[in-house]
Structure 1
Amino acid sequence: MTSSAHVLSLPAPAKNQTYVTISALDAGWLTLPEHLFITNAALEKRTTVPSLAFLIQHHSPSNNLPTSSTNLVFDLGLKRDFTKYRTAQQHHASQRQPTITSPDAAASLLAGGVDPKKDIDTVILSHVHWDHVGTPSDFPNSRFVVGSGTLHLLANGAGPLYPAELFNYDELPFDRTYELPPSSSSEVEKAAKQQTDHKWEALADFPAVVDFFGDGSVYIVDSPGHLIGHVNLLARISPTKWVYLGGDCCHDVRILTGECDVAMYDDGHGGLRSVHLDTDAAKGTISRIGGLLKRGQVVQEDGGEVDVEVVVAHDKGWSESNKERFLPGHL
């Protein structure tokens, strides 16, 4: 590492640092035409990929037990029952066949000894595209957490490329759903005047993260570009190991490594588009996450080098080579 290298600094562990345990969950598979997602792909190339979900177990001291666990699920993958999608969603899903919907997130949890009806405290959705929302009714006692603007998006869509018909306005239980406050500089002051559970702060190269448990174990990362309200998670699993769950920051890890770029294609309205709502913002997010992959350029504030494993939702290679890290196994 040269003196001119850009070094990312993550917080050092506290004296009594809490760590989390992360287990991958099978949550359905869908098929992607590669030319819509990465540059230089053959028009006929289609790949069936997972839509990964994750169980995050946060272990903290309790007055009554040696440890107590707060269980968080990140993303829910596909619905097992496609009739629960709206007509426009079903039409879109028909272009992503073949799909696999069993096991879904709830079934994967049950198979690993975790009851989604009783044991999951919080569900955080990276965003509300059809292949990430799963079946929220499987979690009748969980709080749902979504990124800023998500509830408006569900009701109103986001312009001609993302009309309201592509979303279920009542997808989430409104009485149990918490929407994070705005993170953009123009909105932070306004949000600060409102009563919120969390506040955004900068961390490493990320302008806006939320310390979800308040103990430096799990950070929600504002990850703009793919869709309104898109968020990622950065979690601490040991003194020298972090995991970054990237959702749909990109759909192929070769974009993160710089081997490919985000594909652009005809938007049907006389212009070009990508799979991201805001391609420039998405590329900024991709660049920041890509920095985590550069060994020797991520350290903790105490000077120790750390490893950050980045996992994106549709990484087929990761899924197939890490079967032992699915529940009941862990990362």
Structure 2
Amino acid sequence: MSSDSESVVLPAPSPDQIYVTISALEAGHLTLPEKLFITEADPEKRATVPSLSFLIQHPSPPKSTNLVFDLGLKRDFSGYRDAQQHHITQRQPTIVSPDVAESLRKGGLSPEEIDTIILSHVHWDHVGTPLDFTQAEFVVGSGTIHLLAHGGGYLYPANIFNPDELPKDRTKELPPVRASDLQKAFENQTQHKWKPLAAFPAVVDFFGDGSVYVVDAPGHLFGHINLLARTGPKKWVYLGGDCCHDPRILKGEKGIAMYDDGRGRLRSVHVDTDEAAATIKRIAKLLKAGKVKEEGGGEVEVEVVVAHDKEWREANQGRFWPGKLS
């Protein structure tokens, strides 16, 4: 891993390098109180922010592969458990239309044409309505299936998740990053293998051609993952999910807020604040002008987008499907 003073070096393209196209998708909005997310916040300020989703199109012959990263909010909250409903009442107002399915249709693509859905994590504002996607394979980070069924400790009890959220016969979980020897033996037999890349200790080359990398991004929730994708020569996009909830944290202008956990201890919105801070630090290196290089020489441009960036959404309306980031 690079130190703070070193450049991040991304892999050079192959002679026949594949590039993907990325389009933002409207996927609903929720309202966040600043004091729970950033340091030095106005205690009364609440902001209604997007939960962004993205369509990634990979030119796989004989047709493109359509991949969606995150599904935003459900259009119908009625199926949520009481504990989930209580949490959602604290995030009002919410906007659930258009959701991902509607956004895709508006751009001329049906939910049935989506081949793969990768979820950054399974919080309620990212899982959307999986039933809309009848043909898609779902891909989640390690530990996610156990989390949905059993929860993850007193801050993340089982009753804030739905065990049947994802289609069991079409959901694949990535292998553990920190694996025992037995797990490593299993991992070596799977398509997806974790390897270091640039500032990141563990990524998966998802298509096997250097076009899209799944990045292990620990800290926010068990199984939290991000995507790093090539969109053209010298151009990359990093989709950060909930690595942080305000881009000012990535820029170093704000820190992660800490607050009482109800048991006299401090917590943040992350399951592991130290790991989340380390993940943010790695991603922040991609923002430093002149510090992101490509193997063989030259600088590359990396655009970083996090799920709840209101200003990015407002400034990039032309890049929503059928528009493109690249």
Alignment TM-score > 0.5, same fold:
yes
Which range, TM-score by smaller chain? over 0.9
The TM-score, its normalising length taken from structure 1, stands at 0.95
The alignment partner of 1:287 has SS state of: helix
Partner of 2:33: 33
Is 1:290 the counterpart of 2:284? The answer is: yes
**Residues 23-102 of structure 1 aligned to structure 2 (within 5 Å):** 23-62=23-62, 68-102=63-97
Deviation at 1:189, TM superposition (A): 3.2
Superposed CA deviations along residues 187-226 of structure 1, whole A, max 9, x for unmatched, are 1533222132210000001000000000000000000000
Q: In structure 2, what is the Cα distance between the partners aligned to 1:208 and 1:188? A: 16
**Residues 51-200 of structure 1 aligned to structure 2 (within 5 Å):** 51-62=51-62, 68-117=63-112, 119-184=113-178, 187=179, 189-194=181-186, 195-200=189-194
Matched AA of 1:180: L
Matched AA of 1:286: I
Aligned residues: 320
Is 1:252 the counterpart of 2:252? The answer is: no
The alignment partner of 2:204 has SS state of: strand
Q: In structure 2, what is the Cα distance between the partners aligned to 1:251 and 1:188? A: 33
Superposed CA deviations along residues 294-319 of structure 1, whole A, max 9, x for unmatched, are 01110110212001000000000000
Superposed CA deviations along residues 232-254 of structure 1, whole A, max 9, x for unmatched, are 00000001100000000000000
Matched AA of 2:165: E
The alignment partner of 2:147 has SS state of: helix
Matched AA of 1:215: D
Deviation at 1:86, TM superposition (A): 1.6
Q: In structure 2, what is the Cα distance between the partners aligned to 1:188 and 1:254? A: 37
Q: In structure 1, what is the Cα distance between the partners aligned to 2:180 and 2:227? A: 20
The alignment partner of 1:106 has SS state of: helix
Partner of 2:232: 238
Partner of 2:209: 215
The TM-score, its normalising length taken from structure 2, stands at 0.97
CA-based RMSD: 1.0
Is 1:318 the counterpart of 2:312? The answer is: yes
Superposed CA deviations along residues 263-305 of structure 1, whole A, max 9, x for unmatched, are 0000001100000000000000000000000011101102120
Partner of 2:267: 273
Superposed CA deviations along residues 78-127 of structure 1, whole A, max 9, x for unmatched, are 0000102222111101000000000001110011111112x100000000
The alignment partner of 2:324 has SS state of: coil
Partner of 2:19: 19
Deviation at 1:60, TM superposition (A): 3.1
Q: In structure 1, what is the Cα distance between the partners aligned to 2:175 and 2:22? A: 26
The alignment partner of 1:261 has SS state of: coil
Matched AA of 2:36: L
Deviation at 1:18, TM superposition (A): 0.3
Once the two structures are aligned, what percentage of the paired residues are identical?
Answer: 69
Deviation at 1:61, TM superposition (A): 4.1
Q: In structure 2, what is the Cα distance between the partners aligned to 1:241 and 1:70? A: 20
